[in-house]
Chain A
Amino acid sequence: MRVLETGNHLVALAANAAAVEVVPAYPITPQTQIIEMVAELIVEGKMDAEYIPVESEHSACAALVSASLTGARAFSATSAHGLAYMHEMLHFAAGIRVPAVMVNVNRALGPGWNIWCDHQDSISQRDTGWLQVYVSSHQEVVDTVIQAYRITEDHSVLLPLMLNLDAFVLSHTYMDADVPDREEVSRYLPGYRPLWKLDPRKPVTHGSVVYPVDFSETRESMQLGQDNARSVVSRAAEEFRDVFGRWHGAMVDGYLMEDAEFLIVAMGSIAAESKVAVDGLRARGKSVGLLRVRFFRPFPIEELRELCAGREGLLVIDRDYSYGMEGALYTEVKAALYGHQVVPARSLIVGLGGRDVTHELIADYACKAWDGQLGEITWGDSHITRAHEITREVLCEFEELLDT
């Protein structure tokens, strides 16, 4: 069914199409439209799921985990501080190996309070054991929610998945998209068949105390699940294309990459904007392509090694920062290439707290990076405003207090 909807509403419609059975959720801007629509669909009898109006995100993730462990298909959505508040339970969900799916609407973490887009929230949850995918269009939102359960519920994976979409740029903008109905989806995504669960017919203890002598293997097993996910992600994308005729890439996606001498590497909506930048640069005769990292976990190591080989340079765009180091995507890209490819790379930090990132800006920095005019790390849209000057004045006044 073709609809004209916000990215958030498309998430809810896709979750319904994926026949999710339990939805624990707690409202937070900019995610609220998702759970409002889920609640509405249930009340209208259009969605057959149990909605749990939890009292916090920590509880949302706890209920997500326990519902999933009963064998039900569980779904939730959150953002920023909500995701941060879940942190303990994110580890728990991966550690107890439930194939739940959660949408995170990427938003900056305060203070200063900021409800707009950046990737700091999900990047900060990098090491929790969740699969992480970043989407860049409305249709990809729909299709990836559906693909997500194919990936997580595969018995060789059994790890939760976090689907990240950019606040406002994707979450609140309306776009025409196709939402397949449940019947169609069920041909691609059959019901969840748990390998283990809470079942009175088979009483076992889940989440036991594990002593040092046995612990490491449980963690290596999680890594194996992540490793296995690589091929499952590709299979899920390919079979999705066979059934629905749509393709958004698998571990990575690319745009005019094949003959490109220089690559922009980006995630989320900045990657979509980068396509426009690439078009502009191509029109100016510059052989630039886009490598969009779709899955951040597992990280597309092999794909990067293959796709970056022989390029003259990379510009890696981060909408996040690992303080005391650099942009997280930049770190990962370099780590993937280390010892395999020698490709000059530059890091661009832009779009924090929802600042608009234009294709002109991206194109400009791509040229500068290629021409060797950029230092290693560039805060590309940083400039002092009148507001910052007022802060300086206030700080001066504090300094005067120190002197009195």
Chain B
Amino acid sequence: MRQMVSFKDLPEEELFLAGSTACQGCPSSLALRIAFKALGSNTILIVVASCTSVLQGSYPLSAIDLPLMNVAFATGGASASGVVAGIKAMAKKGELDEEPTVLVWAGDGGTYDIGIQSLSGAAERGTDFIYVCYNNEMYSNTGTQRSGATPLGAWTTTTPGGKAQHRKDIAQIMIAHRIPYVATVSLAHPLDFYQKMLKAKSIKGTKYVEILAPCPPGWKFPSSQMIEVSRMAVQSGMWLLYEHEDGETRFTGATKRMIEGKVRKKPVKDYLEIQGRFRQILASPEGQKAEDMLEEEVSESIRRLQGWVPEYI
């Protein structure tokens, strides 16, 4: 059972330092802040090339008060394997009192696309680390191009007519690696996020946590709406909160209440309409079809997840 926590329990210490180079309302900044509160200062952070390589500031100053290694785009998993092995060697020599937690921080480009092989390799090797994918559903850092995480219908600079394909479900791919812990989280549910990070820290082996990271300039909504968009993603089912452990999936928080029928699922359209990136497709003759296809994607995702949930099997 998870311990109940409240905001009061979150540590005051900030390892993400104010005055960074992040955009206003940046979801990755907020996610880093909360993740660091869960993991503490005995953490080695590996940042895969992404917005986070940039929002941490530039030489010779940094906004991140942890030992941090910026790594090449395709190397999140492998870099973690190297650090974990290095830590073991240092511990053997007595040069470390307590083995640090190894955290990889990567965007969806570095996870779904160019980094999937390296991540898959590290997971198969059972590298003891936490991999966090902050998924803003596009290559935000390079100016909002399409990625394997971009949802159907979404505008990006390389899908000017709206993306024609569905996004892939990488959390399910990670579950297929038989790793001990997979979780999805939302910035609108920070305690759930915090607790899942605490749990990930407590488990040995490869842990995969994915955060939906609505990017205000990329998704075209005001920065003040970042939490609201995150919340609506969950309420519409476009982002499902769950954790997978010991071969079983548990829906969590707002998604659990939605699946149990305690709160009504909102139409996907409500979520699409509060962002600019779906404006074009919604206004086009294809709009209704895209909306239906996304609703079907949500239903299909829920059915697939239910296949892992004991009470639905």
Contact = CB atoms under 8 A, between A and B. Distances in A.
Answer yes or no: A and B touching, Cβ < 8 Å.
yes
Contact of A66 (B43, B59, B71, B121): B71
Contact of A208 (B57, B75, B93): B57
Contacts of B125: 52-54
Interface stretch (A57-65, A121-129, A365-373): A57-65
A211 interface: yes
B64 A24 contact: no
A65 B82 contact: yes
Nearest to A55: B121
A52 B81 contact: yes
Interface stretch (A1-9, A70-78, A333-341): A70-78
Given A62-B79, A208-B58, A74 B70 contact: no
Contact of A202 (B67, B81, B82): B67
B159 interface: no
A48 interface: yes
Contact of A209 (B43, B53, B100): B53
A66 B117 contact: no
A210 B89 contact: no
Nearest to A91: B72
B87 interface: yes
Contact of B86 (A21, A54, A208, A209): A21
Contacts of B72: 62, 88-89, 92
B67 A204 contact: yes
Contact of A54 (B46, B53, B62, B81): B81
A59 B118 contact: yes
B82 A48 contact: no
Given A69-B86, A214-B59, A199 B120 contact: no
Interface residues of B, number: 47
A55 B82 contact: no
Nearest to A199: B67
B58 A209 contact: yes
Given A200-B42, A204-B68, A210-B59, A62 B86 contact: no
B70 A64 contact: no
Nearest to A65: B82
B89 A63 contact: no
B141 to A, nearest CB: 11
Contacts of B69: 66, 69, 96, 198, 206-207
Most buried by A among B54, B66, B70, B75: B75
A198 B75 contact: no
Given A21-B86, A67-B85, A71-B90, A55 B117 contact: yes
Contacts of A63: 78-79, 81-82, 85
B234 interface: no
B257 interface: no
B31 interface: no
Interface in A25-71: 48-50, 52-56, 58-60, 62-71
A73 B82 CA distance: 11
B88 interface: yes
Contacts of A375: none
A56 B85 contact: no
A87 to B, nearest CB: 11
A207 to B, nearest CB: 4
B147 to A, nearest CB: 20
A203 B68 contact: yes
Contact of B78 (A21, A48, A58, A199): A58
Contacts of A65: 71, 79, 82
A207 B70 contact: yes
A359 to B, nearest CB: 44
Nearest to A218: B59
Interface string A164-206: 0000000000000000000000000001000000111011111
A203 B118 contact: no
B74 interface: yes
Nearest to A213: B59
Nearest to B101: A200
B77 interface: yes
B56 interface: yes
A54 B69 CA distance: 19
A58 B58 CA distance: 26
30 contacts: A22-B86, A50-B85, A50-B89, A52-B81, A55-B120, A59-B121, A62-B71, A62-B74, A62-B82, A63-B82, A66-B46, A66-B69, A66-B81, A69-B82, A69-B83, A70-B82, A70-B83, A72-B89, A92-B71, A191-B93, A198-B44, A199-B67, A202-B67, A204-B62, A204-B68, A205-B64, A206-B70, A208-B60, A209-B58, A211-B58
Q: Which 10 A-B pairs have the closest CB atoms?
A: A70-B86, A55-B121, A63-B82, A66-B82, A59-B78, A62-B75, A207-B70, A50-B85, A21-B89, A205-B62
Given A66-B81, A205-B64, 6 more contacts: A49-B89, A58-B118, A62-B72, A73-B89, A209-B54, A211-B58
